[in-house]
Structure 1
Amino acid sequence: MTSPFDRLRALVQETRSEIDRELAERREQLRYRIERGKAVFDSEVRDAHRAIREKLPGYIFHARLRVVLTAPVIYSLILPFVLLDLFVAVYQAVCFPVYGIEKVRRRDHIVIDRHRLAYLNGLQKLNCLYCGYVNGLIALVREVSARTEQYWCPIRHARNPADPHSRYPDFLDYGDAEAFQSQKKKLRDDLRPDR
Structure 2
Amino acid sequence: MNDRIRHLLAQMTAIEDELRVALHEQENNVLYQIKGKRIEFEQSIKQAHSRLKKGFFHWLVTNRPQNLITGPIIYGMIIPLAILDLFVSFYQVTCFPIYGIAKVRRAEYIVFDRQQLEYLNFIEKFHCTYCAYGSGLIAYVYAIVAKTEEYFCPIKHARKILGTHSSYLRFLNYGEAADYEAKLEEFRTRLGKEK
Same fold (TM over 0.5): yes
User: Structure 2 unaligned runs (5+)?
Assistant: none
Report 1:1-195 matches (<5 A).
3-4=4-5, 6-30=7-31, 32-192=32-192
Relative to structure 1, the CA distance from residue 54 to residue 22 in structure 2 (aligned partners, 3 Å threshold; closer, same or farther) is same
Could you give the per-residue CA deviations for residues 63-96 of structure 1, whole angstroms, max 9, x where no partner exists? 1222210111111000100010000111111111
SS at match of 2:178: helix
Relative to structure 1, the CA distance from residue 15 to residue 153 in structure 2 (aligned partners, 3 Å threshold; closer, same or farther) is closer
Higher relative contact order (CA 8 A, sep 6+): 2
The 8 Å contact of residues 156 and 174 in structure 2, kept in 1 or not, is answered as: yes
RMSD across aligned positions (CA):
1.9
The 8 Å contact of residues 172 and 179 in structure 1, kept in 2 or not, is answered as: no
Aligned counterparts of 2:43 and 2:112: Cα–Cα separation in 1: 22
Shift of 1:146: 0.6
Relative to structure 1, the CA distance from residue 85 to residue 116 in structure 2 (aligned partners, 3 Å threshold; closer, same or farther) is same
- Give TM-score scaled by structure 2 length: 0.91
- Give TM-score scaled by structure 1 length: 0.91
Identity of aligned residues (%): 36
Could you give the per-residue CA deviations for residues 155-188 of structure 1, whole angstroms, max 9, x where no partner exists? 0111121110121112111100114222110100
Runs (4 or more) in structure 1 with deviation over 3 Å come to none
Aligned counterparts of 1:37 and 1:108: Cα–Cα separation in 2: 13
Aligned counterparts of 1:38 and 1:159: Cα–Cα separation in 2: 45
Aligned counterparts of 1:180 and 1:38: Cα–Cα separation in 2: 48
Shift of 1:2: 5.1
Shift of 1:98: 1.3
User: Structure 1 unaligned runs (5+)?
Assistant: none
Aligned counterparts of 1:8 and 1:147: Cα–Cα separation in 2: 18
The 8 Å contact of residues 154 and 187 in structure 2, kept in 1 or not, is answered as: yes
